[in-house]
Structure 1
Amino acid sequence: MIYVNSLLFLPFDELKNIEVAAKMSQENSVAIHLRKGDDYMQSELMGKGLCTVDYYMKAIDYMRKHINNPHFYVFTDNPCWVKDNLPEFEYMLVDWNEVSGKRNFRDMQLMSCAKHNIIGNSTYSWWAAWLNANQDKIVVGPKRFFNPINSFFSTCDIMCEDWISL
């Protein structure tokens, strides 16, 4: 399936983002987004429905089985959570862009530059995967995107038909 996007980001003007985007284009890059900030973790509505460590490990294993020599890039609003909770695996932590403020779109933009995406149950990572222009991309997302408390939402309403649900 081919997606045509009319939304475009401003060009990168930060050297580190320019360098990493170029590197991502030269390898089998996989962007992994983990939404684990205090605003989500402490929320009754959101926190109890966040993707688990088990989901992320299954998604990483899926990518390893389907992509030759994947290079993982981790994007998160809580790097300490990632270091404390994800088992050891080789990745680059992208922690230099603003999580909030005028340039908070830079992580989304950089995630969209990866060849493949592992998304969390966050519309921020969903948009990064949607805006990824790689026609051969693999996108892995959670089977349960929304917290069951939000019974008026359905995962089938958000996951694209060619994305992998785990």
Structure 2
Amino acid sequence: MFDVLVYVYEHYWRPDACPEAGLLARKLSAVGFEQEEITEALAWLDGLHSASQHATMGPSATSSRVYTADELERLGPDALGFLQFLEAARVLTPALREVVLDRVAALPAGPVALEDFKILLLMVFWSMGEEPDALILDELFVADEERLVH
């Protein structure tokens, strides 16, 4: 599923440039994605669209978040640490955090791999028509083992 999401991100720079689900499914199939991957990704994207529309009604900027045991299990320590890093850097608002948590909950099981979590984050920003600043994009795209500074 994550390969499909990366393909969508790379080929449709804005959500409004993305074709409707039926046409997108045919395009994804034509480039070689398996039907099961396409179905999972389209369902996940549909949920992202719904969650993104409600993001403006999320918690205030000063709110705190206590994670449930299920959320902690699904996130795992790496994704949770990265999520907290983005919040501390004020890159991820509480409302967007809730969209991220909604989309993590839509994954089959946890903990989500950090690489997959970063793709999920990119898709959340993409769905809002936002692009994180260059330093955050670097954090999202560069693998930990490729960093010059640890």
TM-score (norm: length of structure 2): 0.35
More strand by share: 1
More helix by share: 2
